[in-house]
Amino acid sequence: MPQLNPDPWFLILSLAWLTYILVLQPKILSNKSMNHPTNKNNEIIKTNPWTWPWP
Amino acid sequence: MNLTFFNQFTSPQIMGVPLIMLALLAPSAMFQTQNNRWLTNRLSLLQLWMINLFTKQLMSPISKTGYQWSIILTSLMIMLLMINLLGLLPYTFTPTTQLSMNMGLAIPMWLATVLTGLRNQPTASLGHLLPEGTPNLLTPILIIIETISLFIRPLALGVRLTANLTAGHLLIQLTSTATFTLLPTMPTLSMLTMVVLLLLSILELAVAMIQAYVFVLLLSLYLQENT
């Protein structure tokens, strides 16, 4: 089974961690939400829908 | 050289240059960085909502001190999900079929949860080794069993992901080979095998998403015990 060949093990391991830390985490961190997380409130807020700008 | 069915799992190389970096960076490209605009577009919003929903779901059973882990667990989930899903396309390499990557992710994460628990609340963490309400006679045996199960957790975490994905890819390759080989001689059987292949592909789609989720969920469970 080629997965058990220990040659590329360190390469795969280190590259996986490096991608995880240096690429993915900043991407996920850039998703800033607009509001603080709060508990649910029972009132339904009426908002007017707005037109979205197409990308 | 004779190709076996396992050769799809060798780490890809072109003339000695390892291509694993491409296979690891491509899934990150599936998820866009948000820009700093107040009003973004529909896709960015959907992405933000998905992340918020997932993080909320995952972190709700965990205490406040464990909230520092939310970025770790969410980005891990996104990475595993994207890698698994992209690996279902033909001719792509799935890094999560490699035992090295999965064990390399599972062991440090599990160890981090255990060490967090031992550092902040050592009595409670060690107390998890003896479930409540056990008869006094069984105490020593049960502690040994619980310690063994504690140490098996990272192995199970890594091997579960590897084995599920490897088995899925292997099955897809086998059924597609069968379909192709049967086509000239027994076309009806070939069509039936094709139906099996289609169903299997749907299963693999589900498995890809589920396995990523299970990995992260179990980590959050271990975290819950220890924070």
Residue B7 CA to residue A53 CA, distance in Å, equals 47
Q: Do A16 and B104 touch (CB under 8 A)?
A: yes
pLDDT digits (tens, 9 = 90+) for B53-76: 999 888 888 888 888 898 999 999
Residue B165 CA to residue B95 CA, distance in Å, equals 10
**Closest approach of chain A CAs to the CA of B179, in angstroms?**
24
Interface mutation target, options A4, A10, A11, A13, chain B, most CBs of B under 10 Å = A13
Is the pLDDT reported for residue B149 higher than 80?
yes
**Closest approach of chain B CAs to the CA of A6, in angstroms?**
8
Residue bearing the bigger pLDDT, B72 or A35: B72
Residues in B lying within 8 Å of A, measured between beta carbons: 6-7, 9-11, 18, 20-21, 24-25, 28, 31-35, 38-39, 41-43, 47-48, 51-52, 56, 71-72, 74-76, 78-79, 95, 97-101, 104-105, 162, 166
**Closest approach of chain A CAs to the CA of B83, in angstroms?**
11
Q: For B193-226, b where at least 16 C-beta lie within 10 A, e where not — what string?
A: bbeebeebbeebeebbeebbebbbebbbebbebb
pLDDT digits (tens, 9 = 90+) for B32-49: 888 888 888 899 989 999
pLDDT digits (tens, 9 = 90+) for B102-130: 999 999 999 999 998 888 888 888 888 88
**Closest approach of chain A CAs to the CA of B70, in angstroms?**
10
**Residue A31's CB: how many other CB atoms inside 10 A?**
20
Q: How far is CA B19 from CA B5, B12, B15, B81, B92, in A?
A: 20, 5, 10, 20, 11
Q: Which residue has the tokens 């709700």?
A: B60
In this structure, of A51-55, B138-142, B155-159, the range with the lowest mean pLDDT score is: A51-55
Interface mutation target, options B4, B5, B11, chain A, most CBs of A under 10 Å = B11
pLDDT at B51: 92
pLDDT at A51: 83
Here the tokens at position B104 are: 């390399």
Interface mutation target, options A5, A9, A11, A12, chain B, most CBs of B under 10 Å = A12
pLDDT digits (tens, 9 = 90+) for B171-188: 999 999 999 999 999 899
| Nearest CB neighbour to B11, from listed A12, A19, A52 | A12
**Residue B101's CB: how many other CB atoms inside 10 A?**
28
